[in-house]
Amino acid sequence: MTGTDRRDEELRRYEAILDSIDDAVYAVRPDGTIAYVNDRYAEMKGAGREELLGTQIYDWVTEEAAERARAVRREMAAGERDDGVVEYEFLTADGERFPVEMRFSFIAGGGDDHEPGDEAFDEFDRVGVIRDVSDRKRREEALREKNERLAEFASIVSHDLRNPLNVAEGRLDLAREECDSEHLDHVARAHNRMNVLIEDLLTVARDGEDVDETERVPLRGFVEECWEGVETADATLRVETDRAVRADRSRLRQVFENLARNSVEHGSTGSRTESGDSVEHGSESVTLTVGDLDGGFYVADDGPGIPEADRERVFDPGYTTSDGGTGFGLDIVEAVATAHGWDVRVTDADGGGARFEFTGVDVVD
């Protein structure tokens, strides 16, 4: 087989590979004309490959897209950026548009980096891959709308609900000055319950936001600090980790405090206290354990556990099996994990209780 035959066979193999992928692939000559497109590119453009080859690449895009690409090329040439990533609206031959992400790079030196006479590389100035991101954009838009609704909801909760509650609490104080009745104690508990619910709802709304900044958080001391901030009755904490993770400290506190409350609520035979934070001590207590996990950590208790059929539902907003629970504690836990890019799942603990496993965590030591 001659060198030309081998090159032709190699090119056919490359083309077969490129035609099998879902992304559009193209190559451009130094003069800006199209040297190669795969089948997916032609399909997305709505034109035949032969119709595209040899034409100017910028004749097939909007002026805005062309200017974005030129700007990125100038920045790359000036050493101001390493990647050639551009998001723009892809223009089809019929004039339709949809969002794409393009990644391109230059072939340094053209044929100088390859065997002399290898036209497959000598004629290319840059190559690129284009991906249809319509689905991603729809998800992003849906998330943006959801966050806007959450922000509006948080405003309603913090003002339209809290203000009349403050008035009711003030009236209750005045009523206590005039009379002493056990009915007023029930009213106070109802007010406290409403405050707890409002705080949980506000936390759910805030947790729609992504984590912007993280810091090194040593788990042992941090978990013990969180434990002190929760009414845990006679429950016991056992920390079996000395590692640290990168996280938003205040958001991570929500994870441990909500898991501690959840374990105490469901692991005790008592009922939720008037403060709404935990349960009164019953005839049994629960032990909460925090330990190492490959790629993360776990939080487990030795309570009654969570039935397998309910393990997906426990993260749903409002789902609770406790008469005093708001049903938002584990939803908050999942939201914080998601905001960090972690995965969380619930399974059986060694002692038969519930075990929450967090993976994909940035463990620093």
> Using H for helix, E for strand and C for coil, what is the string for 231-281?
CCCCCEEEEECCCEEEECHHHHHHHHHHHHHHHHHHHCCCCECCCCCCECC
Residues 6+ apart with CB under 8 A from 363: 243, 244, 245, 295, 296
Six-digit token pair at 5? 């035959």
Strands 287-293, 236-240: pairing is parallel
Can you name the residues that pair with 34 across neighbouring β-strands? 28
Can you name the residues that pair with 91 across neighbouring β-strands? 97
Strands 354-359, 343-348: pairing is antiparallel
Can you name the residues that pair with 36 across neighbouring β-strands? 27
Amino acid at 321: T
Q: What is the pLDDT of residue 327?
A: 60
Q: Which residues of 167-178 are buried (b: 16+ CB within 10 A; e: fewer)?
A: eeeeeeeeeeee
Give pTM, 2 decimals. Answer: 0.49
CB atoms closer than 10 angstroms to residue 205: 21
Phi, psi angle pair for 165, to nearest 5°: -65, -40
- Contact call for residues 85 and 101 (beta carbons, < 8 A): yes
Q: Which residues of 271-296 are buried (b: 16+ CB within 10 A; e: fewer)?
A: ebbeebbbbebeeebbbbbbeebeeb
Per-residue pLDDT of the chain (365 residues; tens, 9 = 90+): 565 566 556 666 666 777 677 899 999 998 899 998 999 999 999 999 999 999 999 999 999 999 999 999 888 888 888 788 999 999 999 999 999 999 988 875 543 343 433 444 456 688 899 999 999 999 888 878 877 777 777 777 777 788 888 899 999 999 999 998 989 988 988 888 778 777 766 766 665 566 778 999 999 999 999 898 787 778 899 999 999 999 998 889 889 988 998 888 766 433 333 333 333 333 358 899 999 999 999 999 988 888 787 777 777 765 565 555 556 678 888 888 988 999 999 998 887 788 999 999 999 97
Six-digit token pair at 154? 């948080």
- Contact call for residues 355 and 262 (beta carbons, < 8 A): no
Report the alpha-carbon distance of residue 185 to residue 322 in Å, rounded: 21
